[in-house]
Amino acid sequence: MKTSFKTVALIGKYKSPEIAEPLLELAKFLEGRGVKVLIDRLTASHIDSCPYPVLLLEELGKQADLAIVIGGDGTMLNIARTFAPYDVALIGINQGRLGFLTDISIETMFETIGTILEGKFVAEDRMLLQAEVYSGNSGGAERVFDVLAFNDVAVNKGVTGSMIEFEVRIDGQFIYTQRSDGLIVATPTGSTAYALSSGGPIVHPSLSVMALVPVCPHTLSNRPIVISSDCTVEIVIRSADDPRAHFDSHSHFELRTGDRIVVRRYSHTISLLHPAGHSYYGMLREKLNWNRE
């Protein structure tokens, strides 16, 4: 991760015209600090006569040292997947309630961004998952889908409501055959998302692990397990009426019996920058309404 931020990309929540005003104010602030400002193309569509260079996300990833995302956690998830191959740190500014990933408010963004530009921040390197789907038509050998996930990869039953049956292998070793509503493979970042609501553990983001969390398993002995991120997880669909794979609830793939989903750690990480004094445990207390001291 670069620690000197000379070129900053600004990205707003898509289809949100109200982003334009705070984004332009932030751009002027950054210019005043001697920083070159670039704007995402879709974000710029909400700005009349945008006075800053407008680029596609991939070009921003190649040119920027830092990306500031104004929106919510969903927007941050999308940008993190896109910027993962590039050495670009991310900062999240939330429009409303502070999120797990976007933890800076619009009201305090000038002060906070200013201190970050001075080198006063807490950095977290977060892992992502790379998921591949192999078609059962050719013995599970033909790759038909390839995508990144920042939170999780989830295999679920479809709209029919019937349980699905699937086999799970870790590093080629058979673990179990399970009947359930699905299975979630979550990163530490995703441990506070879908996996948490399904009874999974909260995992500190500094850990390099994956959590496998069953969704409403038929057998109560099927419990969540945490494994090394060096492992490769394989999920093979054995019986299902309408199975689907979801990736951060952003991308999805319609599965068929015999399809194989392979999940492993992505080779790049993404760096999130937080204000000085940021505490992960403090954030959990606030977001999950834990008792305060």
Type of residue found at 252: H
Task: Show the tokens assigned to 229.
Answer: 């991120």
Identify the active-site residue in 73, 103, 248, 259: 73
- Which residue, 252, 212, 219, is CA-closest to 234? 212
Main-chain phi, psi angles of 30, to 5 degrees: -65, -40
Dihedral, CA atoms, 30, 65, 186, 154, nearest 10 degrees? 90
Question: What is the length of the chain?
Answer: 293
| Helix and strand numbers, DSSP H then E, in the chain | 7, 18
Task: Show the tokens assigned to 211.
Answer: 């959590």
Q: 242 catalytic, yes or no?
A: no
- Which residue, 59, 32, 56, is CA-closest to 43? 56
The secondary structure of residue 191, as a DSSP letter, is: G
Q: How many CA atoms lie within 13 A of 232 on its CB side?
A: 10
Distance, CA of 226 to CA of 219 (rounded, Å) = 19
Residue 215 Cα distances to 102, 165, 224, 250, angstroms: 27, 12, 9, 19
Q: Residue 92: helix, strand or coil by DSSP?
A: strand
- Which residue, 206, 215, 172, is CA-closest to 187? 206
Distance, CA of 209 to CA of 207 (rounded, Å) = 6
Please measure the distance between the N-terminal and C-terminal CA atoms of the chain and give it in whole angstroms: 35
Which are the catalytic amino acids? Answer: 73
